Each structure stands twice: as structure tokens, then as C-alpha cells.
Amino acid sequence: MAIHKLTTQLLRLLPVQRRLLLIAADALILPLAVWLSFWLRLAEPLSNSFVDRLWLLPAAWLIGLPIFAFSGQYKGLTRYVGSRALYQLAIRNAWLVLSLLACGVLLRLPLPPRTSWLLLWILLTALSGTLRFFLRDLLLSLQSKSSQQLTRVVIYGAGTAGVQLSIALRMAASHSVVLFIDDDHRLWHREINGVPIKPPQILREHKREFDQVLLAIPSLTRSRRREVVAQIQPIGIPLLMVPSVEEISSGKVTINALRPVAIEELLGRDAIDANSLLFNSGIRGSCVWVSGAGGSIGSELCRQILQLQPRRLVLLERSEPSLYAIHQELNALLPVGVDLVPVLGSAADESLVESCFRSNSVDVAFHAAAYKHVPLVEANPLAGLANNVLSTRVVCSAARRCGLQQVVLISTDKAVRPTNVMGASKRLAELVLLAQPHSSTCFSMVRFGNVLGSSGSVVPLFRKQIAAGGPITLTHPEIIRYFMTIPEAAQLVLQASCLAEGGDLFLLDMGEPIRIKHMAEQMVRLSGLSLRDVANPNGDIEIVYTGLRPGEKLYEELLIDGKSKPTAHPLICKGLDQGLPPEQLWPQLDLMQAAIERQDVEAALALLQQLVPEWQRSDALVVRN
């Protein structure tokens, strides 16, 4: 009881009182070290040699304490004492010993043997250092005991990040690290600051002994991260992870900024380094124009284009909030010598697009603007056709007239054997690009599937439904989709543009298909919740099947006829696709544009079906006149 009361009082001391306590401790250590240096050297604690040199005791106080005070020894916080503080302490003690020696020589006082000076320095450093490390550990221990019940954690990863995390958690006094686990068998049965390192298999055996697993390997690949999550999830223990290497190195977050594993970090393949040979001079020093610059793909294209040092980047976006947001973001990243031009308007506005091309001397255009939400376009087919098809025609025509070097259309896998208006409109946009007459402008398009985190992705919807307590709405238990991260998709688009020769259809390797049901289940578990189903009626989140929406497929494809050929990039291939003869396409497009202008849905959809015969119009499609 008395010890507990004493330790509580120690925690309540004011900073000034703690400094005075350290000064008093040093005042005791100084004469003790002087005496020990004689005793250990001569084995006689009160020898005549020591009595003759008693001047060292008051001199140690008079010289040592001012040196300690003026050199900042009492400015540091004891609970954060580390190896650097010990080195500084050794330097101060060296100055003290040299000052005592100089004092003895100048005043011709009796001096101890040479080895006693070295012994005195070692003793001073050892005693004062031990005292400070002891006080540090005592304060941290008392702080931990005075706080609420600590969270018992296992750190997965005994590398640098794991060690830094354990130190940060110890200082925060919020977690108790009971174990390190690591895949490297050479580390097993060793320790880090007294905490043992064990193989991952031990988790299942001792799962009741800890509350969380903290994944402390920032550079982990996606495939390895999936394996770790699959290993830990069945145990039923919450898994958190440290930020990525990029986040830590940028200074945005600290090592102990723990967060749940996001589903985006598990889906998709491991990152593949960009082929620097494909980043030619097409963008560097050029004026690049991006439509849909505020969208998921358009905004990421802009970020990566800026890194390639264009002369000017023109942002075309019809949404004012989206244009403002991306303009502000890119302004903060803007390299020296690069102009940034925001343009508010639609890519279907022919006079605006041509004026934009001419006034900015645009060299390369990326046409990413499109309506892509299947149900919304299904309910508003004329808007979808105008934005997706007519804008492509406008951009291509204006590019030819203005002599642009290159135009790249961003397409979608829903354009392959489309079952909805959105997919059919994107297929028709592809046909528009393929039908462009020969000119100095190089036209190409890039087709790929879903991107993680985009506005049309199911991931944000599922996350919102989980946060609301469920249920998760899924159209069909067997639905399958391909997923790619937005940065990877944008990077491959830029590299595909460097492979273009004219009239090219590039297809991006989307990796392995993902069953959406499995993804939804995994998101529930990653949130620390359980599924509610027949096997577990008391679970947290239920999955409800609503049936396929009008025009929705169970799976998507990238090829129409299944034929393609490889390119210089392993993740980019070239589709062998046939378009429509211009003499057939252009008159039909003129009729479609007229139907859109007079809001004739029936006529526009009839023309769409003629131009894209593989699209079968759904009976559920509502016709508005």
C-alpha cells in the first residue's frame, strides 16, 4: 500500500519537481562514482590515497552539476530516454572528467592514477544512465497501470516496422505487446525487448491470450496480404494494420496510426512496375487534355500525367464541385513549369471542345468522360447516348480538325456483348473511334473492367451498408466481376497510349475474377462483424439477394470474338476488332443525334439496336416520349 501511494505521488510530481529529483540523484551519484573509482582501482575504500584527493568530491559537485544543467541534461523527458540520451550523457561525463583533470593540473592538486579517470567516466555514465533508464521504465509502467485495461496485442512482423510500432504503443501506454509473430523461422524463439517471437501457427493455440493482431509489414504484397488475412480471419480475432510505406514516408501518418484492412488492399494483383520505355515523349512537354477530369479514372490520369511533366494540363469537367476538387488537389502537386487549365463544360459541346483544343494547342487528348452507372443510364437512355456516344464523335472530329497528335478513348468491358444501354452506348463510342478516317491524328481506345473505389463500384455501397448495420444488398449470389485499382488502371492506360499506332483497341489484363458474394462476406469480417445466415442466425450483417437489375450480367468479358495479340507490355494486349463502314455509321449517327435532340427515345434506341446488333433491348426498359 505504501509503495502504491509512493508511485502515485511520483506520477503527480510537477516537471520542476522531477528535475529537482534528478539533480538530487546526480548529486549523490557524483561522489559515489568518485569513491568507487578509487575503491575498484585500489581495493581500499578509505586509503590515504583517497583522503589526499578528497578535493575531487566538492569539485565534482561544483563542476559536474553546472555542466549537466547548462548542457541540457535536465531538459529531456525521462519517459522518452533512449540510446541518443545515453550518448549525450557519456559526452557530458567526459567533459566533467576532463574538467576535473584540468582543475587538478592547474591548481597542482594531487591526482589519482590515470586509469582512475577512465574508471570514473565509465562509472558516472553507467550509474546516471542506469538511473534514467530505470526511471523511464518505472514511469511507463506506472502510466500503464494507472490507465484503463490495456489492449493485448500480437504484432505480425518482427522487422523494423514491428519494432517501431511496439515502441510507439509502449510510449502511448494503450496497448500491451504480448507476442511477435513472423514467417522467418530464423527469428523464432528470439526476443525483442523481452517480447518473444513465435511462428504464426501459434495464434490459434493462444487466441484467448490477446485481443488484436496488428499487421506491421507496410511493404506486404497484395497476394501475401490476402494469405495473412485468410490465415487470421477464421480465428475470429480483429486484424489491424499499419499504414503503407508511402503514407509513413510522406509524413501523413505515424507508424501507430492503426486501421482495419480495407477490401481494396486485398483485391487485385500485386503491383507491377511501370515499363519506363513505354513512357515516351508523347506527354512530356506536350499539352494534354482530359475529359471527365473529376471522375475516378480521369482524376487519376491527371495525377499521373502531372508526374510526366507536360507543358500544360487541361481539365474538362461538367460537374462544378468535381472540377473544383481536382483543380485544388492538382494545384498543390503542380510541378514547376506546368500550366493547369480548368474548363467547366461538356465534352459533347462541339464549339467548346474545338475552342479548347485550339486555344491551348492541345497535343494529346484522353476522353474519359462518360455516364457509367448501369441503372441510371437504363432509366435515362438519351442522356447516356448523348454523353457517351455524341461526345466521342465531337472529340474525334475536333481532334482531326485541330491536328492533335493522339486521342485515347477510355472504354469498358460492358461494351462487349452489351446487355444494357450503358454498355451498348460505350460499344457505339468504340465504333465511332474505329470509323475515323485516316489522318495525322492517332486514335486508340483502352477497354477494361471495374476499378476499385470508383463511384460506380460496389465497394463503397457495401461499406456504407455495413456501417448502417446491414443488410448488404446483392443482386445475385453467382455474380462475378474483375477488379483493378484506379492507379494501376490509369498507369496502364498511359502506357497503352504509347503503344498506339492508329485504330487500336487495347485490353488490360484484369487479373483473376472475384465473386461479389465472397467479397461482401470478407468485408463484413474485416469490419470485425459476423455474417447472419442459416448457420449463424445471431450474426451482425445479413446478405439479401434482390435479383439481377435490368441489363445486368453475371459476368463481364473484354473480347467480342475472343481474338487478341500480345504487346510489349505483359498486362496489355491488342484486340482484333472490326468496326462499321463510315458510310453506314455516320448517317445513322446523324439520325440518332436528331432523335436525341427531339427527345425521341424509341427512335434513338431503335438506331442503337441497328448499330449494335449484339445488344438485345430489355422489355423492362422504359420508353419516355
- Per the structure, the count of domains in the chain is 3
The predicted pLDDT at position 555 comes to: 62
Out of 121-135, 185-199, 433-447, 554-568, least confident range: 554-568
The predicted pLDDT at position 268 comes to: 60
Q: How does pLDDT run across 371-422, given as a tens digit for each residue?
A: 988 889 999 999 999 999 999 999 999 999 999 999 999 998 888 888 899 9
d(CA 351, CA 334): 28
Q: How does pLDDT run across 303-315, given as a tens digit for each residue?
A: 999 988 899 999 9
Across the range 573-602, mean pLDDT stands at 89
Directed axis angle between helix 582-597 and helix 601-611, to 10°? 160
In a domain, 617, yes or no: no
In a domain, 274, yes or no: no
H or E element, residue 209: none
Strands 287-291 and 312-317: parallel
In a domain, 275, yes or no: no
Could you tell me which residues come within 8 angstroms of residue 506 by beta carbon, excluding any fewer than 6 positions away?
444, 445, 446, 447, 496, 499, 500, 567, 572, 573, 574, 575
**Is residue 612 within 8 Å of 423, Cβ to Cβ?**
no
Could you tell me which residues come within 8 angstroms of residue 413 by beta carbon, excluding any fewer than 6 positions away?
447, 448, 449, 450, 482, 510, 556, 557, 558
Strands 406-412 and 364-367: parallel
Q: What are phi and psi of 31, to 5 degrees?
A: -65, -30
Could you tell me which residues come within 8 angstroms of residue 319 by beta carbon, excluding any fewer than 6 positions away?
294
**Is residue 221 within 8 Å of 270, Cβ to Cβ?**
yes
**Is residue 183 within 8 Å of 200, Cβ to Cβ?**
yes
Largest interatomic CA distance in the chain: 118
Residues 128 and 233 in one domain: no
pLDDT, mean over the chain: 78
Residues 201 and 302 in one domain: no
| Residue 227: pLDDT band with limits 50, 70, 90 | confident
Report CA 476 to chain centroid distance, whole Å. 31
- Other C-beta atoms within 10 Å of 437: how many? 9
H or E element, residue 7: helix 2-12
The DSSP-derived string for 65-76 is: HHHHHHTTTTTS
Q: Which is nearest to 130 in space by CA: 33, 226, 51?
A: 33
CATH number of the domain that 493 lies in? 3.40.50.720
User: Per-residue pLDDT for 368 more than 90?
Assistant: yes
In a domain, 267, yes or no: no
Across the range 173-189, mean pLDDT stands at 81
Residues 76 and 160 in one domain: no
Could you tell me which residues come within 8 angstroms of residue 15 by beta carbon, excluding any fewer than 6 positions away?
none
d(CA 116, CA 107): 19
Residues 524 and 596 in one domain: yes
In a domain, 335, yes or no: no
Residues 54 and 122 in one domain: yes
Residue type, 4: H
Residues 473 and 405 in one domain: yes
**Is residue 501 within 8 Å of 408, Cβ to Cβ?**
no
Using the 8-state DSSP alphabet, how is residue 133 labeled? H
Most confident of 349-358, 440-449, 468-477: 349-358
Across the range 157-161, mean pLDDT stands at 81
Residues 41 and 187 in one domain: no
Q: Which is nearest to 345 in space by CA: 293, 303, 297, 384?
A: 293
Kindly tell me the sign of the dihedral angle through the C-alpha atoms of 362, 367, 368, 372.
Answer: positive
Residues 377 and 240 in one domain: no
**Is residue 596 within 8 Å of 386, Cβ to Cβ?**
yes
Could you tell me which residues come within 8 angstroms of residue 281 by beta carbon, excluding any fewer than 6 positions away?
none
Structural domain of 108: 2-146
Residues 495 and 414 in one domain: yes
| Residue 191: pLDDT band with limits 50, 70, 90 | confident
Residues 488 and 531 in one domain: yes
Domain boundary among 84, 114, 146: 146
pTM of this structure: 0.64
d(CA 350, CA 367): 14
Could you tell me which residues come within 8 angstroms of residue 321 by beta carbon, excluding any fewer than 6 positions away?
294
Residues 129 and 163 in one domain: no
- Other C-beta atoms within 10 Å of 516: how many? 23
Could you tell me which residues come within 8 angstroms of residue 163 by beta carbon, excluding any fewer than 6 positions away?
192, 193
The predicted pLDDT at position 490 comes to: 87
In a domain, 343, yes or no: no
**Is residue 214 within 8 Å of 240, Cβ to Cβ?**
yes
Q: How does pLDDT run across 523-576, given as a tens digit for each residue?
A: 887 777 788 888 888 888 889 888 877 656 666 655 544 566 777 777 787 877
